[in-house]
């Protein structure tokens, strides 16, 4: 009964997901494998001309209690759990007339699907709790040295390929399949726990599942350890799906900053080429352009100093002209959906260390609905911050021009990705093309975000642009002209009118705020007195 090498003689097939099971069983039959099956799986196989031994013929016991009892029997589990190298096990199996089972093919109906259907009650949900399936998977996975356990139809091809080439299933594959089976049952049990905890105990339970842990060089700082884990089966625009084309392995901070850059770019859509430049988890540069090169240059002008050692993300193919702009400029990482071959070669030659990531799905819609943040001893879960404004209400005598609304929406998107208390200044540097001229981030004092950071930084950036473009006017006049056409967005409402007063000192005339302060009327009165257009959006965008 012990076959030495791992030759599959008998296989038990009982699956919920029947994709590919008929074809797989056909191939097993060609190898002379005896197929044991149950219920619906057995019927489908027989209807397709495959000889099947019903489980009840093995156990000499009928299915009973509406199918609750089928495979839970020593004749089945003895054949799965028997250790082939253990002579006592083999002898006991012979005495009990238990025949060995070398392969178990089982997958479980997704419990989440059941309980997510309209009108499903507790009794119905409980009937979908599989007992025999998980037990079979765990038995086979426990004895993976002797039993191949397949819980995913995607693995049928791998197993058949090995059997065709060598007649056996390799140890490496059996180990992989065993771990996959335990994960399958763990996720299944987790779904049941989450549902029943709510239904029976009125407790909210969350169980997160992340795999493929990859050790990083260090964490936020040199003395900290760090690992990156991937969410299984994640699709779409995620750093977990990027392909690294060049450079050193990503660091902890690279992941954090690149995710900020990715989310920031995605908020702008893909109607125009867009670029986000992120440093220390804040966008220090953000722009759209008629070309990618225009967008990168404008984003760089948002803070040329902070752009040193930054993360760059764009929503369109990275071309050679854009790559050449980075000559002599140190950046940590570039993320794009694609690269022109010449641009990729240029970036590779620029530095051995620059990390180049490709994410073809970058512009796809994200299916992630929640964000999570771990704090010591606890986990916070919240829905994603989606949208820019709930309303667009100009509350002042000075109207907000309709043609400035796209610039205003761009400004809010920049503010959403900037740490609170945040203020961003946005400028239409070219018709239909926008740039974040400056921002103030992470200040406990919201007023400092305007007067000490965003406004003063804007003047510094304009000084650089002024000297490069040499406009036919003095610098103060140039500043006044640009700032008077900027839009300022705040992630917070204004509890006092001081923010409006300081904005006016720098000739900022268009302001966006959530509104909602008990002193809104005072703020509006001050804006009217200063000739400022103030829009309330009724949507706050704090980011901590």
Of the candidates 18, 73, 99, 142, the residue annotated as catalytic is 142
Quickly tell me which residue has 């406004």 as its tokens: 455
Report the residue count for the chain.
Answer: 544
In this structure, what token pair is assigned to residue 297?
């240059």
Specify the DSSP class assigned to residue 100.
P
Contact 260, 283 (CB under 8 A): yes
Measured CA to CA, the distance from residue 420 to residue 427 in angstroms comes to 21
Half-sphere exposure of 263 (CA within 13 A, CB side): 21
Contact 315, 286 (CB under 8 A): no
In this structure, what token pair is assigned to residue 128?
């979908």
Question: Which residues lie across from 358 on neighbouring strands?
Answer: 243, 336
Sequence-distant (6+) residues with CB within 8 A of 50 are: 22, 25, 26, 29, 35
In this structure, what token pair is assigned to residue 103?
């392969």
Measured CA to CA, the distance from residue 427 to residue 410 in angstroms comes to 9
Q: Residue 128 burial by CB count (10 A; 0-12/13-18/19+): exposed, middle or buried?
A: middle
Measured CA to CA, the distance from residue 313 to residue 336 in angstroms comes to 6
Measured CA to CA, the distance from residue 169 to residue 45 in angstroms comes to 23
Rg of the chain, C-alpha, whole Å: 31
Sequence-distant (6+) residues with CB within 8 A of 368 are: 236, 238, 384
Which helix (H) or strand (E) is 46 found in, with range?
helix 39-47
Look at strands 53-54 and 103-107 and give their pairing: unpaired
Residue of 279, 340, 252 whose CA lies nearest to 348: 340
Longest dimension (CA), the chain: 102
Residue 280 is a catalytic residue: yes
Measured CA to CA, the distance from residue 83 to residue 98 in angstroms comes to 13
Of the candidates 280, 329, 430, 452, the residue annotated as catalytic is 280
Measured CA to CA, the distance from residue 429 to residue 436 in angstroms comes to 10
Contact 78, 93 (CB under 8 A): yes
Work out whether the CA dihedral 401, 407, 409, 415 comes out positive or negative.
negative
Residue 304 CA to chain centroid, in angstroms?
A: 30
Contact 128, 109 (CB under 8 A): yes
Measured CA to CA, the distance from residue 424 to residue 432 in angstroms comes to 18
Measured CA to CA, the distance from residue 192 to residue 48 in angstroms comes to 34
Residue 77 is a catalytic residue: no
Active-site positions read 142, 280
């Amino acid at each position: 009964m012990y076959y030495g090498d791992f030759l599959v003689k008998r296989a038990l097939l009982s699956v919920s997901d029947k994709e590919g099971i008929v074809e797989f069983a056909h191939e097993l039959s060609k190898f002379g494998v005896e197929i044991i099956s149950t219920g619906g799986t057995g019927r489908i196989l027989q209807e397709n001309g495959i000889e099947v031994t019903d489980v009840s013929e093995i156990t000499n016991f009928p299915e009973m209690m509406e199918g609750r009892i089928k495979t839970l029997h020593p004749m089945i589990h003895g054949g799965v759990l028997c250790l082939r190298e253990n002579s006592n096990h083999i002898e006991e199996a012979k005495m009990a007339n238990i025949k060995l089972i070398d392969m178990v093919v089982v997958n479980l109906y997704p419990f989440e699907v059941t309980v997510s259907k309209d009108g499903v009650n507790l009794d119905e949900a409980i009937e979908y709790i599989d007992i025999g399936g998980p037990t079979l998977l765990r038995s086979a996975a426990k004895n993976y040295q002797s039993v191949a356990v397949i819980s995913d139809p995607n693995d049928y091809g791998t197993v058949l390929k090995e059997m065709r080439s060598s007649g056996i299933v390799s140890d490496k594959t059996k180990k992989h399949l065993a771990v996959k089976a335990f994960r399958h049952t763990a996720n299944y049990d987790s779904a049941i726990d989450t549902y029943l905890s709510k239904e029976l105990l009125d407790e909210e339970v969350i169980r997160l599942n992340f795999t493929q842990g990859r050790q990083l060089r260090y964490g936020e700082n040199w003395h900290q350890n760090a690992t990156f884990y991937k969410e299984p089966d994640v699709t779409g625009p995620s750093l977990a799906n990027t392909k690294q084309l060049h450079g050193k392995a990503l660091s902890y901070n690279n992941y954090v900053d690149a995710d900020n850059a990715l989310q920031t770019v995605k908020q702008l859509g893909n109607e125009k080429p867009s670029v986000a430049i992120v440093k220390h988890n804040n966008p220090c540069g953000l722009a759209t352009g008629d070309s990618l090169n225009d967008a990168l240059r404008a984003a760089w002008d948002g803070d040329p100093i902070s752009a040193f050692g930054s993360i760059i993300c764009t929503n369109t193919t990275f071309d050679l002209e854009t790559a050449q702009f980075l000559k002599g400029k140190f950046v940590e990482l570039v993320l794009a959906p694609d690269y022109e071959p010449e641009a990729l070669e240029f970036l590779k030659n620029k530095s051995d260390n620059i990390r180049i990531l490709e994410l073809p799905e970058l512009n796809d819609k994200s299916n992630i609905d929640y964000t999570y943040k771990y704090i010591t001893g606890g986990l916070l879960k919240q829905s994603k911050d989606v949208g820019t404004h709930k309303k667009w209400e100009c509350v002042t005598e000075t109207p907000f021009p309709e043609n400035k609304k796209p610039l205003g929406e761009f400004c809010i998107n920049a503010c959403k990705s900037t740490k609170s208390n945040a203020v961003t200044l946005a400028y239409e540097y070219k018709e239909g093309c926008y740039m974040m001229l400056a921002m103030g981030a992470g200040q406990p004092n919201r007023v400092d975000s305007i007067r000490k950071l965003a406004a003063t930084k804007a003047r510094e950036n304009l000084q650089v642009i002024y000297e490069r473009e040499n406009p036919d006017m003095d610098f103060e006049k140039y500043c006044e002209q640009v700032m008077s056409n900027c839009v300022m967005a705040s992630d917070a409402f204004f509890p006092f009118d001081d923010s409006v007063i300081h904005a006016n000192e720098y000739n900022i005339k268009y302001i966006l705020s959530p509104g909602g302060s008990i002193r809104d009327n005072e703020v509006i009165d001050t804006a009217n007195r200063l000739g400022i257009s103030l829009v309330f959006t009724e949507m706050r965008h704090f980011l901590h």
